[in-house]
A and B are shown apart, each in its own frame.
Chain A
């Protein structure tokens, strides 16, 4: 039995969905894309083009939701399947788009550089329980206009895992699509075996900006999967209650699912979220709050009830350093996410309200992820019964350390964390240098970087990526790419 957490009764979930539909039909949404408004009008929505507003209909909602796939697969750069997003299957990815990087030498946050990103991409490529990479932070040493694409370029160049990303502009999307195509070969091949998911989120309350709605439609048409990480802030931009926030969140996220289906029926979409309570003491948006976990778990249940695969920003922390707060918030979020069955969990590595990525934290979080995934595998009898022969063996041999049963099932039954989590007794720990967790994380990150191997692309792929990215940088006044140290 897979252990599963549930927070909503059937009645409450249905009520939240009904309230969301009422918002979509009764209040409608601000939609700043003419193309999106046109699509909605074509499918029966009432549209105020001048006011850039649309009111959905019940029939339109039903038809669009029916068209959305309940699950889809993701592939690495070589076309090997890595993800099956649906059911209660869970996959982790580092949280995306931090503007700061935690400097491992100073322990302070600073603007990231290419070298930081390369280090990150190399490390994430070597973490088996982190199924996808993400464009986790924004290197500041290229022109602003290409920073979204540059993250993707660096990720593709150094790591073959599928990538969770997003464009900052319509032009950025076109460039990013080009980069993906260089790796995959053709638009059809990219659609057939997608290896990127783009984040496209509405603006709470009830608004789609032109850029994000255009990105959403472009992705749908191109067959590129989308996640919709809607970000209501309970008590500020959404009702103070979890239930009320879930209703607004559902309306906004459903609207994205619907728009994608109108653009391309069957478009692959993750019903996502990055909700948080608004901390009225500090004017911040805590991702490590209990209410955040409740909202994330709740939105997952709503998404599953709508027969959609899901995503949420969980397993991350608001701490400013690799400290106990970082561990406890990340750990609790990861457990709730995994036991809820959220299909794509975006979080590892992130600190400070999604503002700061840390490679060392990512390495620690990988251990947390491993423990959480083990928890989700639950309790499974493995040739255990009748148990008496085994106990007789124990009584006779005095231990079961090398019993056939132990040797056969040890690897499946016991999860052994890597070198980050200290499990030696105190004396051994002292003898081996009495290292602290941040030291071990640093050492492990260095070791992973040292053991990194470049993706096994043909040389033309690397050359094509460099050529396209260099051209984009030149168009914005930077003649050469920063040193990749490759």
Chain B
């Protein structure tokens, strides 16, 4: 098995120490960091994601794989910066104003990082302006919002309206989720995407970053 395949295989198995060791070997073998990222680390996360979707593995497996991804990423991060390789994408996450529930949002953050994204986690009780300003300041292209309460869901609409007012639509794309949130609601308020769990959030954000149409048919 080639080195990158081994990295993907061990990452899928959640073996952080082995992934780190193999990544070091790959760096020593002068395999470009971008190849290690795409052909090894992200390929392994894709395998786990696929198995999760098929109900063959469950959340802990995904998180263990994400941890292994992190172990590899730490080693190649300086090389990626040196080579000017862009990360998969950058997203701002937060639970909306008035809402302190963060379990789902945290899971999305862990999985996004595991999938190679940079994540700016704003925590809970996040005001609309803070979402937008943090995204602009940090160079993020996606804002992920979470809410557990029906009473706080309307804040998601406020964020999207703010994006529209400031003519940032297209530059900042939005994905929403949380127990009371539905795809219909996402369409109603003009969100770009809706995700019903952590893995689907990664899929949706990946699509949005790649310029996918989202719910509204385009960036």
A contacts, CB < 8 Å to B? 398-399, 401-402, 406-407, 410, 419, 425-428, 431
Measured between beta carbons, the chain B residues less than 8 angstroms from A402 are: 60, 63-64, 67
Interface with A: B28-36, B126-134, B192-200, which one?
A: B192-200
Measured between beta carbons, the chain A residues less than 8 angstroms from B59 are: 401
Whether A410 lies near B196 (C-beta < 8 A) is: no
Whether A427 lies near B63 (C-beta < 8 A) is: no
Q: How far is the CA of A425 from the CA of B67 in the complex (A)?
A: 26
Whether B194 lies near A401 (C-beta < 8 A) is: no
Q: How far is the CA of A406 from the CA of B200 in the complex (A)?
A: 24
Q: B106 on the interface (CB 8 Å rule)?
A: yes
Interface residues of B in 191-209 (CB under 8 A from A): 194, 196-197, 200
Q: B183 on the interface (CB 8 Å rule)?
A: yes
Given the known inter-chain contacts A402-B60, A407-B60, please indicate yes or no for A427 contacting B67, CB distance below 8 A. no
Whether B60 lies near A406 (C-beta < 8 A) is: yes
Q: B57 on the interface (CB 8 Å rule)?
A: no
Interface residues of B in 90-113 (CB under 8 A from A): 103, 106-107
Measured between beta carbons, the chain A residues less than 8 angstroms from B24 are: none
Whether A428 lies near B60 (C-beta < 8 A) is: no
Whether B197 lies near A428 (C-beta < 8 A) is: yes
Given the known inter-chain contacts A398-B106, A399-B106, A402-B67, please indicate yes or no for A427 contacting B60, CB distance below 8 A. no
Q: How far is the CA of A428 from the CA of B195 in the complex (A)?
A: 9
| Residue of B60, B64, B67, B194 ringed by the most chain A CB atoms within 10 A | B60
Whether B106 lies near A427 (C-beta < 8 A) is: no
Whether B183 lies near A410 (C-beta < 8 A) is: no
Q: B55 on the interface (CB 8 Å rule)?
A: yes
Q: B182 on the interface (CB 8 Å rule)?
A: yes
Measured between beta carbons, the chain A residues less than 8 angstroms from B107 are: 399
Interface residues of B in 144-194 (CB under 8 A from A): 179, 182-183, 194
Residues 57-73 of chain B, each 1 if its beta carbon lies under 8 Å from chain A, else 0: 00110011001000000
Measured between beta carbons, the chain A residues less than 8 angstroms from B196 are: 425-428, 431
Residue of A nearest to B102 (CB): A398
Q: How far is the CA of A13 from the CA of B125 in the complex (A)?
A: 62
Residue of A nearest to B55 (CB): A419
Which 6 pairs show the lowest CB-CB distances between chains A and B?
A427-B196, A402-B63, A428-B196, A401-B60, A402-B60, A401-B63
Whether A427 lies near B182 (C-beta < 8 A) is: yes
Task: Please name 28 pairs of A and B residues whose Cβ atoms are closer than 8 Å in the assembled complex, sorted by A.
Answer: A398-B106, A399-B103, A399-B106, A399-B107, A401-B59, A401-B60, A402-B60, A402-B63, A402-B64, A402-B67, A406-B60, A407-B60, A410-B60, A419-B55, A425-B179, A425-B196, A425-B197, A426-B182, A426-B196, A427-B182, A427-B183, A427-B194, A427-B196, A428-B196, A428-B197, A428-B200, A431-B196, A431-B200
Shortest Cβ distance from residue A37 to the other chain B in the assembled complex, whole angstroms: 61
Residue of B nearest to A399 (CB): B106
Measured between beta carbons, the chain B residues less than 8 angstroms from A419 are: 55
| Residue of A401, A419, A428 ringed by the most chain B CB atoms within 10 A | A401
| Residue of A399, A406, A426, A427 ringed by the most chain B CB atoms within 10 A | A427
Shortest Cβ distance from residue A355 to the other chain B in the assembled complex, whole angstroms: 36
Measured between beta carbons, the chain B residues less than 8 angstroms from A427 are: 182-183, 194, 196
Q: How far is the CA of A410 from the CA of B63 in the complex (A)?
A: 15
Shortest Cβ distance from residue B142 to the other chain A in the assembled complex, whole angstroms: 19
Measured between beta carbons, the chain A residues less than 8 angstroms from B106 are: 398-399
Measured between beta carbons, the chain A residues less than 8 angstroms from B60 are: 401-402, 406-407, 410
Measured between beta carbons, the chain A residues less than 8 angstroms from B194 are: 427
Q: How far is the CA of A431 from the CA of B53 in the complex (A)?
A: 11
Residue of A nearest to B59 (CB): A401
Q: How far is the CA of A425 from the CA of B177 in the complex (A)?
A: 12
Residue of A nearest to B61 (CB): A402
Shortest Cβ distance from residue A352 to the other chain B in the assembled complex, whole angstroms: 33
Residue of A nearest to B195 (CB): A427
Measured between beta carbons, the chain B residues less than 8 angstroms from A399 are: 103, 106-107
Q: How far is the CA of A419 from the CA of B54 in the complex (A)?
A: 11
Q: How far is the CA of A399 from the CA of B106 in the complex (A)?
A: 9
Q: How far is the CA of A431 from the CA of B203 in the complex (A)?
A: 14
Measured between beta carbons, the chain B residues less than 8 angstroms from A407 are: 60
Residue of B nearest to A407 (CB): B60
Shortest Cβ distance from residue A216 to the other chain B in the assembled complex, whole angstroms: 48
Q: How far is the CA of A351 from the CA of B169 in the complex (A)?
A: 59
Measured between beta carbons, the chain B residues less than 8 angstroms from A428 are: 196-197, 200
7 additional A-B pairs beyond A402-B63, A407-B60, A425-B196, beta carbons within 8 Å, are: A398-B106, A401-B60, A406-B60, A419-B55, A426-B196, A427-B182, A431-B200
Measured between beta carbons, the chain B residues less than 8 angstroms from A406 are: 60
Shortest Cβ distance from residue B38 to the other chain A in the assembled complex, whole angstroms: 25
Measured between beta carbons, the chain B residues less than 8 angstroms from A401 are: 59-60, 63
Q: How far is the CA of A359 from the CA of B107 in the complex (A)?
A: 39
Q: How far is the CA of A402 from the CA of B66 in the complex (A)?
A: 11
Measured between beta carbons, the chain B residues less than 8 angstroms from A398 are: 106
Measured between beta carbons, the chain A residues less than 8 angstroms from B183 are: 427
Shortest Cβ distance from residue A428 to the other chain B in the assembled complex, whole angstroms: 5
Residue of B nearest to A416 (CB): B58
Q: How far is the CA of A406 from the CA of B59 in the complex (A)?
A: 12
Residue of B nearest to A406 (CB): B60
